[in-house]
Structure 1
Amino acid sequence: MTREIALAEVEGLVGTEIGVSDWILVNQTMIDTFATATDDHQFIHVDPERAAAESPFGGTIAHGFLTLSLLSTMNYKALPKIREQTMGINYGFEKVRFMSPVKCGARIRGRFKLSSARFRGAGMLMTAYEVSIEIEGERKPALTAVWETIVQFDPKDRPVHD
């Protein structure tokens, strides 16, 4: 179960790995559903026979953006909950690099290192995470990124600094 921390504890975690998600199986149903949602039906993703015959991967691979989108579920399951948080906002990415393809049938998981945390205004905390998505049994990650988020909270809950 994901732990809970106080807002005042966040800054002290900068520079540490604060979460690793469970493994997620990327199967053909997931890939096909994403292809339908994004209208990206390139054969390398949706045609197992053709992908096996015409690609170097031996079958279909997940869309890079599917892999990236799974960071949301990895985040919810791996990172500590901040007690005072009223809302979380995805601010964006500084850098995303797709390092290795995720083959259909592979399992992936996310690693989250808090690289910065700074208060902005009365009720916001800007955070940045160095994230990587590992592929089980592979040396290189599927992707690496710097992910920025905003933690919103009631200004009365802002920690007092000396």
Structure 2
Amino acid sequence: MLLRSRGRALRTEASRLRSRKAAIPVPRPAEYHLLVLPDGSWSTVECLATMILHHATVPTVIVDMTTVQRMTIDALAVLVRKAIRLRSADGQLLLAGPPPAVRRLIERTGTGRIVQVLPGRAAAVRFLARDGRTWHPVSLADGPGTLFAGTGLAEHV
């Protein structure tokens, strides 16, 4: 009798598990925002971070830094905070083409573990394509972005 009830319980459990639909993970789109940083001043970097926060629609951002000559540690801290926020949304921040002085600052501060530094835009896109997908640039939203909407993060820069 005990074996029969145990067998019935196991069959019921197996049936319940088979009927449960497995959640199929939906991959994030292979899209990125490409933003040009004209200089490394704190105010410009802060403006860029605010644009990402309020207008981003995808969590992957490439920042073209080829025109930046130098950057303060405070401006780098803004980029690091933005990279952390993008990671929380399953994304990343890539720095494309920073000059040697900015690369040295990133090395000295140890922030290369948080932000990926690449030689240029093409290298950044190739880095993304390691997952086998074809990546496409998309514009920031004209109005409020959808990436951080409803998360409470949109109130803090």
Calculate the TM-score normalised by the size of structure 1: 0.23
Give the structure with the larger strand fraction. Answer: 1
Calculate the TM-score normalised by the size of structure 2: 0.24
Give the structure with the larger helix fraction. Answer: 2
